[in-house]
Amino acid sequence: MTSPPVPLLPAGVDVGDVDFAKLDGLVPGVVQDARTGQVLMVGFLDEDALRTTLRTGLATFWSRSRASRWTKGESSGHTLAVRAVEVDCDRDTLLLHAVPAGPTCHTGDPTCFGPEALGGSFLPLLDEVVRDRDEQRPEGSYTTRLLEGGVRQVAQKVGEEGVETALAAVAQDDEDLLGESADLVFHLLVLLRSRGLGLRDVERVLRERHG
């Protein structure tokens, strides 16, 4: 099933920002999972492929072997819904932040670099799941129940989990501490979402403090 295009983030790239001349009209495009940071694939884009990507929200490339333009997933349905496009400092390489609909590689692996390359962080993916629960509110979901209880209820739960985490740190073993920490992080993500915020907002504050 093909995912609908996702609008680009406000911070993006204009076609005029990109130098297509260095590789005879092409630039490499590195595709990164917008949720986890995993590198999914590398393709080449000409100017029209970039325009199409920006217009449709679906990653589109130029095939050097077929000498034709193609949209990822046009036959398999495993599209890449682009969230944002950035250009590097030399203006000759693109970074596409995208959400994949199914495996990216034709082998069935999530990434073209093989299962060994599945680095990245799970937290952005979990944050996306929480955001999806907030938008869809599926029945029977614990996250839905928390969100429908309102900010005060979620905040109380975060307080409880914080106390349990602190107690585990001083009185229990490592596995207990990790389990309580996982509960705390999950409920904190739900609390943020109940205020219309997410993990990216926390990361922005941390970067500002670090910088």
Instruction: With cut-offs at 50, 70 and 90, classify the pLDDT of residue 115.
Output: low
* Burial class for 122, CB neighbours closer than 10 Å (0-12, 13-18, 19+): exposed
In this predicted structure, the answer to whether residue 6 has a pLDDT above a threshold of 70 is: no
Backbone torsions φ then ψ of 80, nearest 5 degrees: -120, 105
Task: Please give the tally of structural domains in the chain.
Answer: 2
User: Per-residue pLDDT averaged across 87-107, rounded?
Assistant: 91
27 and 90 fall within a common domain: yes
Give the pTM: 0.61
Beta strands in 3-116 (DSSP E): 27-33, 39-45, 60-63, 68-71, 80-87, 94-100
pLDDT, one tens digit per residue, over 121-133 is 678 778 888 988 9
Any domain includes 86: yes
Distance of CA 188 to the CA centre of its chain: 19
Residues with Cβ within 8 Å of 127's Cβ and at least 6 positions away in sequence, in order, are 35, 189, 193, 198, 199, 200
The answer to whether residue 79 sits within a structural domain is: yes
Please write the tens of the pLDDT for every residue from 40-95: 999 999 999 999 999 999 999 999 888 999 999 999 999 999 999 999 999 999 99
